[in-house]
A and B are shown apart, each in its own frame.
Chain A
Amino acid sequence: MPAKNKLEEKIENLHASLESIKARDEIIGYILRDPKSASVDIKDPSKIIDYAVLSSTVLDSGEYMTSTFELGKVNHIVIEGGDVKVLSLTTGDHRISVFMSKNVDHDAICKSLRLK
């Protein structure tokens, strides 16, 4: 079915984009979730649980605040901590969070994930 193929191709592209983004030194890792599964690739495995909880909270809080202030559909959310920055976005039913150093241009990463 062409529609299914297109969707599968889109998901494959998304995985490929994330892999190429993750190859960069300043990228700490990513979490990609859909309703049925999750791909987690974090360079420091001891942080996987904390990052997974944070990723989910970022998207939930972001959606909550967006509806509170009537900001429309969320394009992307960025949070900055003391040493790490997180870019979170939703594409289709996929929720993505990319963890990176604070000096990374998250707009460029966001663009590369959206274009695929």
Chain B
Amino acid sequence: MSKDMYTTALKNTLTEIKKICPDINYSFIFTKDGAIIAGDGEADDTLMKKAVHSFQSLAEKAVAIGGLDALSINGEKGKLHISRINDMYLVVTTSPNADTTYLHSVTNVIVPTVLKLLENIAPTPLKSMPMPSQQLVVDTITGFFAGDNVQIDDTHLKEWSQQLDGKDVNEVEIETIGGKKTRCGVKKISDPKQQGKGLVLMPEKTCRALEAKKGELVKVKPIES
């Protein structure tokens, strides 16, 4: 089954659910790694992406309570409910007086059934492996030949390459604890004295852009080329 057909099947499911639960304003499904799979056509892309981004940053912090299975927001003008179904999340927003017990009994039966059916018909093409990442300690590269690239241990580059089906890793995303992110080229650490220490060597201008100081922990993630 193609990805388009899979998406269409889920989109139709959401549309049918809306017909039996008219209190639903928006509904859409996204994967654990943030890819929006299907929507009922009411919510535009920007709206969905904003919600997914916010949910994912919350999910990162929710490791403290064993992950994030569900989120409910009760607002004066409406409700939002996000629930986990296998490796996906279903988002539903409703009017304030919606019968959420009825709604959950419908969505929690229909959506998992359709997903299971689709899985049985054909293995899902939608699940993508989460991008690996590594926490590394910042150190700076100085001097005339510092260049624009950051440097990390070759072992990480090789490991990521293996996880990405042999693709070379030439670019990474660096995220600080404060949430600042940047993309830059990456090379293996050339100075043998700096190897194997869990460092990311960054040119001073990259450090400045990220407001990252020497000794700080940052998250480094490969970008698929």
Measured CB to CB, the residues of A under 8 A from B are: 47, 50-51, 53-54, 57-58, 61-62, 64-66, 68-86, 99
If over half of A's interface residues share one DSSP class (helix, strand or loop), that class is named, otherwise mixed; here it is: mixed
In contact, B68 and A73 (Cβ under 8 angstroms)? no
A74 in contact with B58 given A69-B93, A82-B66 (CB within 8 Å): no
A84 contacts across to B, CB distance below 8 A: 65-66
With A and B bound together, what is the CA distance between A27 and B217 in angstroms?
A: 34
Would A69 and B72 count as touching, CB distance under 8 A? no
Cβ of A69 and Cβ of B61 under 8 Å apart? no
| A54 and B51 within 8 A (CB) | no
B77 touching A71, Cβ below 8 Å:
yes
Q: A54-B62, A61-B58 are in contact. Are A78 and B72 (CB under 8 A)?
A: yes
The residues of B with any CB-CB pair to A shorter than 8 Å are 25-26, 47, 50-51, 54-55, 57-58, 61-80, 93, 96
From the candidates A51, A62, A74, name the one contacting B64 in the complex (CB within 8 A).
Answer: A51
| A71-B73, A72-B78, A74-B74 known; A81-B67 Cβ under 8 A | yes
Selected A-B contacts with CB under 8 Å, 25 pairs: A50-B61, A54-B62, A54-B64, A54-B65, A57-B58, A65-B50, A65-B51, A65-B55, A65-B73, A68-B54, A70-B78, A72-B75, A73-B75, A74-B73, A74-B74, A75-B74, A77-B71, A77-B74, A78-B71, A80-B68, A80-B71, A81-B64, A81-B65, A81-B68, A81-B69
Report the bound CA distance from A104 to B41 in whole Å. Answer: 36
B100 to chain A, nearest CB (A): 11
Query: Chain A residue with minimal CB distance to B72?
Result: A78
B47 touches A69 (CB 8 A): yes
Q: In the complex, how many angstroms separate the beta carbon of A85 from the nearest chain B beta carbon?
A: 8
Q: How far is the CA of A75 from the CA of B96 in the complex (A)?
A: 11
- Asked if A79 contacts B80 (CB within 8 A), the reply is no
Cβ contact within 8 Å between A79 and B62 = yes
> Which residue of A has the minimal Cβ distance to B94?
A71
